[in-house]
Amino acid sequence: MQYQAVIGLEVHVQLLTNTKIFCGCSTKFGASPNSQTCPVCLGMPGALPVLNKKVVEYAIRAGLATNCSIAQRSVFARKNYFYPDLPKGYQISQFELPICVNGHLDIEVDGKVKRIGITRIHMEEDAGKLVHGDVPGLGQGSGVDLNRACTPLLEVVSEPDIRSADEAVAYLKKLHQIVVYLGICDGNMEEGSFRCDANVSVMPVGSDKFGTRTETKNVNSFRFVKQAIEHEIERQIEVIEEGGRIVQETRLFDPNTGTTRSMRGKEEAHDYRYFPDPDLVPLVISADWVEDARLSLPELPEAKRARYLAELGLTAYDAEVLTASRELAEYFEACTALYPQAKSVANWVMGELTRALNEDGKGIADSRVTPQLLVDLLELIDKGTISGKIAKTVFDEMYKTGKAPAAIVAEKGLVQVSDTGEIERIIDQIMAANAGQVEEFRGGKEKVFGFFVGQVMRASKGKANPALVNEILLKKLKG
């Protein structure tokens, strides 16, 4: 029998606020254990949560960027369960009335566009973390670090519209790109800033009745998502083919084996006893607030790509590469604002600059080559001060030192030789020294022309203006 997979994703997006969702503690990663805590995030008796407005702003942004409607009134709820990393014995989340509902993202897989529904986006607090083994100051045992407790998260829940691992990855990549573009998440999957739980089920092709689903937890890279889902689909089909039944359960992905294993079954599932948190009043969001957020949204990758195609005349491929990250797109746009020849800028940004950064393992933000410097370099080429080839040498120096290209050119004596007298002198020397080849050329073997260009360029240490070299050489060879 042929099977169809049905997939829904729950993505946790850690928000880039300076302070936690319900208190004023810092959210910085990597501080010493429990140094970023206060009575509120420690769950001390009598402590009360106060909502961080920035979190709401970020949630609204995420909602608008994923075509959701923003709820005028949403409610925080308590999700009750006991765990040592959960200080209050409940997590403050949203349940029945989340802040964003009914959105969607359009993804493209194998050239086909598909719409994936977004059921809801809600705000919640993260838990702390447990440290096992040799705990500093405690010895052997388990310690609780509550620095991460109360860090703001968005949970983005998709509809079960996804039908393959590739679609799941395309959806995740798109969502990832959007939250990073919005500046609300650093997108770091290894540190857990963007993590995903996958709900997977299978049904016979043509059926409209979903199979029993499993939930695979905390898959922390795009590659692992693909692996985990593919494995889970295969596993479920195998179970059914062998006459078994899928059990509704939570499974854990093991990156070492690329497989999933059972974590807890439905009968062990928690009854979270959700109820509205009486410590927080319902969140009321005015139409004006939503409008302000809409106006402050950055141009999103989809819109940027369309504009690069229509207004800048770039190819679809160039537009895709340049909008991959907001930083790169902003760099590119800063260049074109100074120097409107977009195609030429695109070639340099995607070529030399990206190559150099990749070799160093750096991002565009670390680049010493500012948009102004890159544009200065392009202008030196246009003016004929240097050739395109020499420009690459200048670029490498500029990339290393951050010096202005004109200064590098002067310092290293790289100014292009456009003096026809000088070029003629070099050509004459070369022709005299290679009389045999001159004869060959004149005898119709035009390929030899390239040999002469190479010799002249070498003699001029690459500084001879290539256009002039071509022109004069041709004239002289033809006699």
Partner 1 sequence: MNDLSLIGEDEMELYELTICELHDKLKKREVSSVEATRSLLARIEAVEPRVGAYITVTAEEALKSAAEADKLIAEGKSDILTGIPVALKDIFLTKGIRTTCASRILANFIPPYDATAWLKLKERGAVLVGKLNQDEFAMGSSCETSAFGKTRNPWNLECIPGGSSGGSAAAIAARQATATLGTDTGGSIRQPASHCGCVGLKPTYGRVSRYGVIAYASSLDQVGPMTRDVADCAVMLGAVAGFDPKDSTSVNLPVPDYTQALVRDLKGVKIGLPKEYFIPGLDPDVKHALDQAIETYRGLGAEFREITLPHTDYAVATYYLVATAEASSNLARYDGVRFGHRAKEAKGLVEMFSRSRDEGFGPEVKRRIMLGTYALSSGYYDAYYLKAQKVRTLIMHDFIRAFEEVDLILTPVAPTPAFRLGEKTNDPLQMYLSDIFTIPVNLAGTCGISVPAGFSREGLPIGLQLVGRPFGEEAILRAAYAFEQATEWHKRKAAL
Helix axes 388-401, 405-412, angle to 10 degrees: 110
228 close to 261: Cβ distance less than 8 angstroms: no
- Nearer to partner 1 (CB atom), residue 265 or residue 384: 265
Length of the chain: 479
Sheet holding 76-80, edge to edge: 90-94, 76-80, 275-276
Nearest to 184 by CA among 289, 27, 69, 317: 27
Q: Does 122 bind partner 1 (CB under 8 A)?
A: no
- Nearer to partner 1 (CB atom), residue 277 or residue 333: 277
Near partner 1 by CB under 8 A, which window of 87-95, 177-185, 191-199, 451-459?
Answer: 87-95
- Nearer to partner 1 (CB atom), residue 51 or residue 459: 51
- Nearer to partner 1 (CB atom), residue 51 or residue 109: 51
- 12 has which bridge partners? 155, 195
Min. distance of Cβ 249 from partner 1 in angstroms?
Answer: 18
Q: Does 144 bind partner 1 (CB under 8 A)?
A: yes
Q: What is the DSSP string of 328-389?
A: HHHHHHHHHHH---HHHHHHHIIIIIHHHHHHHT--GGG-S--HHHHHHHHHHHHTTSS-HH
What is the helix (H) or strand (E) element at residue 133, kind and residue range? strand 129-135
> Can you tell me which of 115, 261, 273, 294 binds partner 1, judged by CB under 8 A?
273
Min. distance of Cβ 284 from partner 1 in angstroms?
Answer: 13
- Nearer to partner 1 (CB atom), residue 37 or residue 158: 37
- Nearer to partner 1 (CB atom), residue 272 or residue 289: 272
Q: Does 152 bind partner 1 (CB under 8 A)?
A: no
Side-chain half-sphere exposure of 79, counting CA atoms within 13 A = 14
Min. distance of Cβ 24 from partner 1 in angstroms?
Answer: 10
What is the helix (H) or strand (E) element at residue 203, kind and residue range? strand 194-204
> Can you tell me which of 138, 247, 281, 365 binds partner 1, judged by CB under 8 A?
281
Q: Does 102 bind partner 1 (CB under 8 A)?
A: no
Min. distance of Cβ 33 from partner 1 in angstroms?
Answer: 13
- 112 has which bridge partners? 109
- Nearer to partner 1 (CB atom), residue 186 or residue 279: 279
Site string for partner 1, 33-72 (x = CB under 8 A): ------x--xxxxxxxxxx---------------------
- CA Rg, the chain, in Å? 30
- Nearer to partner 1 (CB atom), residue 44 or residue 316: 44
- Reduce the secondary structure of 426-448 to three states and give it as a string: HHHHHHHHCHHHHHHHHCCCCCH
Residue 315 tokens, joined: 């190819």
> Can you tell me which of 84, 141, 183, 340 binds partner 1, judged by CB under 8 A?
84
Angle at 272 between CA 260 and CA 18, to 5 degrees: 80
Determine the Cα–Cα distance for residues 325 and 327; give it in Å rounded to an integer.
Answer: 5
Q: What are phi and psi of 362, to 5 degrees?
A: -110, 165
Q: Does 271 bind partner 1 (CB under 8 A)?
A: yes
Pairing of strands 249-254, 214-219: parallel
Q: Does 139 bind partner 1 (CB under 8 A)?
A: no
Q: Does 87 bind partner 1 (CB under 8 A)?
A: yes
DSSP state of 23: S
Contacts of 251 (CB under 8 A, 6+ apart): 214, 215, 216, 217, 232, 260, 261, 262, 263
Q: What are phi and psi of 29, to 5 degrees?
A: -85, 140
Min. distance of Cβ 411 from partner 1 in angstroms?
Answer: 60
> Can you tell me which of 1, 30, 32, 82 binds partner 1, judged by CB under 8 A?
82
Min. distance of Cβ 275 from partner 1 in angstroms?
Answer: 6
Q: Does 89 bind partner 1 (CB under 8 A)?
A: yes
Near partner 1 by CB under 8 A, which window of 7-15, 85-93, 285-293, 355-363?
Answer: 85-93
Angle at 163 between CA 159 and CA 166, to 5 degrees: 110
Other CB atoms within a 10 A radius of the CB of residue 121 amount to: 24
- Nearer to partner 1 (CB atom), residue 93 or residue 385: 93
- Nearer to partner 1 (CB atom), residue 210 or residue 275: 275
Near partner 1 by CB under 8 A, which window of 78-86, 206-214, 341-349, 374-382?
Answer: 78-86
> Can you tell me which of 3, 58, 90, 441 binds partner 1, judged by CB under 8 A?
90
Q: Does 88 bind partner 1 (CB under 8 A)?
A: yes
Min. distance of Cβ 52 from partner 1 in angstroms?
Answer: 12
- Nearer to partner 1 (CB atom), residue 47 or residue 415: 47
Determine the Cα–Cα distance for residues 357 and 133; give it in Å rounded to an integer.
Answer: 39
Residues touching partner 1: how many (CB under 8 A)?
28
- Nearer to partner 1 (CB atom), residue 45 or residue 361: 45
Write out the residues near partner 1 by the rule CB under 8 A.
Answer: 39, 42-51, 78, 80, 82, 84, 87-90, 144, 271, 273-275, 278-281
